[in-house]
Chain A
C-alpha cells in the first residue's frame, strides 16, 4: 500500500550525512527524497536559525555555520526533493524495496515507496541518570545549544556545565560566547598529558582542524574565565521544583565518584554533555544487526564498507551508526550514496570505488584520531552508578531505580522488566532509560551490557495523532471465521 509516490532513494535525516548522501544519489540522476522532522536542513551540527529569524550578518555565526549554510544551500539547489517537518515513523519491507510512512506536522501521514533507503538519523545526547536529573533547569547540551543557536534564548542565570569528550570543551566555550555565566565546567576524563599530546600529534595528519578547534575552545574558556576542572563528575542536582544547587565530585578512572570530594555550587541551570547516543529506532525496526562500543555511544549498527546494513537495501551513515562527528558523517554520506547508486545499477563498481576512495581515506584518518584520544575520552562505567534508590530512571513513566532493582533481581529480560514496571512504555519509547536499565541488568546478573537484547522495536517511532493514521480506505478483514473445509 503506498500513495503512488515512488523514489529510487529515500534518505532519512537532513544532517550532514543525509544531505551528502542525498546529493550524491540525486547528482547521479536517481529520484531522491530527503526527509527531516526539523523545519530546516542541517541536522544537529549545522542547526539553522528558526524559521522566522533572519540572518543579518553571517560572520558572528561562525565558520561552522557558514560551512553548513553553504551545504544546506547546495542541497536545496540540487535535484534532491525534500520533505521538512516530516518524520519517518515506520518502514516496511516490500519485495523490491521499502514502504516508508511519513508524518508531516503531526497532522497527516502518507506512504511512499523507495527502492533503497539511507538512514542518517543522527544522535541525541547520551542520557546519564543521577539524582535530580529530572528537575527543570537540567538541560542537555544539545537542547541548550538549540535554544541558543536557533532562537537566541538562554534560560537561567548561573550555569554549571558537566560533561566529557570533545563537547565538554566546545559547548561551554560556545555558550560563553553568547554570554552564559558558567560557574564551572566539569570534565569527567583526565587532562591531556604529554603522551596524549604526542599521540594526537602522530594522528594529526589530516586532522589538524580538529586539534585547532580544541585549542581554540580551551582558549575561549580561559578568556571567559570559566574554570575547567578535569576528573570531576556531576553527582546530584538539588532544588525545590527547579535547580538551585549542583553537587559534583572527583572520580576515579572508571568515573566512580570518590567519597569526601563533593562540592556544592549555587546554580540554576545544569547543562549535561556526556557525549551522544545514536538514534536507533528505525535501525532496530528494520532488524539491522548491531555491535556495541561505548565510546561511539553504545550500540553501533553493523555495516560493510559501503555502509550497507544487514537489512536488504538499507544503508546507514553518520552519527546514527555510532557517533563519530560531522566530518565522518559527510564522508559516510558520500559512501552510502555511491553504494546506493552502484547497487541501483547506475554506476559501475570501479567508478564507485574510485569515487569513494577519498572519503574512505579521510574516514580512516579520523578513526586514527579517535583511537589517539581514547584514553581521554573513554566513557567510564561510573555513569551507570550515580542514581540512588529514589532516582527516577524512566522519566516518562516515573519509575525509580528502586522499583527497577526489585524486578531486575528476578529477571535478566528487559522486556519482562518493562512489562512489570512500565519503564520504557512512555512516549519516548525507552530512548532515555533503556541503556541505563540494561546496565542495571548487566550489573545484577553479571552479563556484558552489549549482550543484553533491547525490547522489541515497534512503530510508530514518533507519536502520531489517531486522525493522522486512520484510513477508511483500508478494508476491515471481516469477522473471524473458520477456514473453509474445517468443521
Chain B
C-alpha cells in the first residue's frame, strides 16, 4: 500500500494570511539549504519529507511527536550541541544541524 495524495509534503504554499520570515541558509547533515526565520529546526529538517530526525540508542527512528518541547523525541545536534529539541529551537542563518544517533553522535 502506498500513500498517494494531491499534497506535496512540507511548507504550505497557501499561506492563509501569513507571510514567511526572511529567507536564510542553514546546513542540514552537511547540505546547505533554505529556511525561513520563524521556522523551527524540526520543520527545516522535515522540509524534503524526511520525517526521521534521529535514531535512538536502541536504533529506532524518531521524529516530531509532541511538537511543544515536552517529549524530547525530536532531538538533533544543533550548532554542536546534541539532544537539542528541534521543535522549540528556531532556525538561524548559518545554523549547522545534524541528525543524531544514540546519545548524541552524528
- A480 interface contact, C-beta 8 A: no
Q: A268 near B52 (CB under 8 angstroms)?
A: no
Q: B19 near A136 (CB under 8 angstroms)?
A: no
Q: Which one, B12, B22, B36, B66, contacts A124 given CB within 8 A?
A: B66
Write out, one digit per residue, whether chain B residues 1-28 have a CB within 8 A of any chain A CB (1) or not (0): 1111111111110111111111000000
Q: CA–CA, A179 to B5, complex, Å? A: 11
Q: Count of B residues near A, CB < 8 Å?
A: 55
How large, as a class, is the contact surface on chain A?
35 or more
Q: A125 near B9 (CB under 8 angstroms)?
A: no
Q: Which one, B16, B18, B49, contacts A155 given CB within 8 A?
A: B49
Given contacts A242-B61, A395-B73, A432-B71, contact A52 B1 (CB under 8 A): no
Q: Please name all residues of chain A whose beta carbon is closer than 8 Å to the beta carbon of B40 when the two chains form the complex.
A: 50, 147, 151
Taking the closest CB of chain B, its distance from the CB of A66, in whole angstroms, is: 10
Q: Which one, B7, B38, B66, contacts A51 given CB within 8 A?
A: B38
Q: Please name all residues of chain A whose beta carbon is closer than 8 Å to the beta carbon of B18 when the two chains form the complex.
A: 49, 53-56, 61, 152
Q: CA–CA, A140 to B52, complex, Å? A: 16
Write out, one digit per residue, whether chain A residues 44-77 have a CB within 8 A of any chain B CB (1) or not (0): 1000011111111111110000000000000000
Q: A152 near B11 (CB under 8 angstroms)?
A: yes
Interface of A is mostly: loop
Q: Which one, A44, A53, A245, A432, contacts B38 given CB within 8 A?
A: A53
Taking the closest CB of chain B, its distance from the CB of A141, in whole angstroms, is: 9
Q: A395 near B71 (CB under 8 angstroms)?
A: yes
Q: CA–CA, A458 to B56, complex, Å? A: 25
- A146 interface contact, C-beta 8 A: yes
- A134 interface contact, C-beta 8 A: yes
Stretch at the interface among A164-172, A210-218, A375-383, A423-431: A423-431
Query: How many A-B contacts if CB must be within 8 Å?
Result: 194
Q: B16 near A136 (CB under 8 angstroms)?
A: no
Q: Which one, A60, A137, A264, A431, contacts B63 given CB within 8 A?
A: A137
Taking the closest CB of chain A, its distance from the CB of B18, in whole angstroms, is: 5
- A252 interface contact, C-beta 8 A: no
Segment 71-106 of B: residues with Cβ below 8 Å from A: 71-73, 83, 87-88, 90
Which residue of B8, B15, B68 has the most chain A CB atoms within 10 A of its CB atom?
Answer: B68
Q: Please name all residues of chain B whose beta carbon is closer than 8 Å to the beta carbon of A279 when the two chains form the complex.
A: 70
Minimal Cβ-Cβ distance residue in B for A133 = B65
Q: B11 near A124 (CB under 8 angstroms)?
A: no
Q: B21 near A52 (CB under 8 angstroms)?
A: yes
Minimal Cβ-Cβ distance residue in B for A124 = B70
- A192 interface contact, C-beta 8 A: no
Q: Which one, A37, A55, A180, contacts B7 given CB within 8 A?
A: A180
Q: Please name all residues of chain A whose beta carbon is closer than 8 Å to the beta carbon of B14 when the two chains form the complex.
A: 178-179
Q: Please name all residues of chain B whose beta carbon is closer than 8 Å to the beta carbon of A359 when the two chains form the complex.
A: none
- A157 interface contact, C-beta 8 A: yes
- A187 interface contact, C-beta 8 A: no
Q: Please name all residues of chain B whose beta carbon is closer than 8 Å to the beta carbon of A245 when the two chains form the complex.
A: 1
Q: B65 near A395 (CB under 8 angstroms)?
A: yes
Given contacts A181-B7, A242-B63, A432-B71, contact A53 B43 (CB under 8 A): no
Q: Please name all residues of chain A whose beta carbon is closer than 8 Å to the beta carbon of B11 when the two chains form the complex.
A: 152-153
Taking the closest CB of chain A, its distance from the CB of B13, in whole angstroms, is: 9
Some 6 contacts from A to B, beta carbons below 8 A apart, are A53-B18, A125-B66, A146-B67, A151-B43, A180-B7, A181-B6
Which residues in B have some Cβ–Cβ distance to A below 8 Å?
1-12, 14-22, 36-40, 42-43, 46-47, 49, 51-53, 56-58, 60-73, 83, 87-88, 90
Per CB-CB distance, the 5 closest pairs between chain A and chain B, nearest first, are: A143-B67, A52-B21, A52-B38, A136-B63, A52-B37
Could you list 18 further interchain pairs (A-B, Cβ under 8 angstroms) beyond the known A154-B10, A398-B56, A398-B58? A39-B90, A52-B38, A135-B61, A136-B62, A142-B67, A142-B68, A147-B40, A153-B39, A157-B3, A178-B14, A179-B14, A242-B61, A266-B4, A268-B3, A395-B65, A396-B72, A431-B71, A463-B83
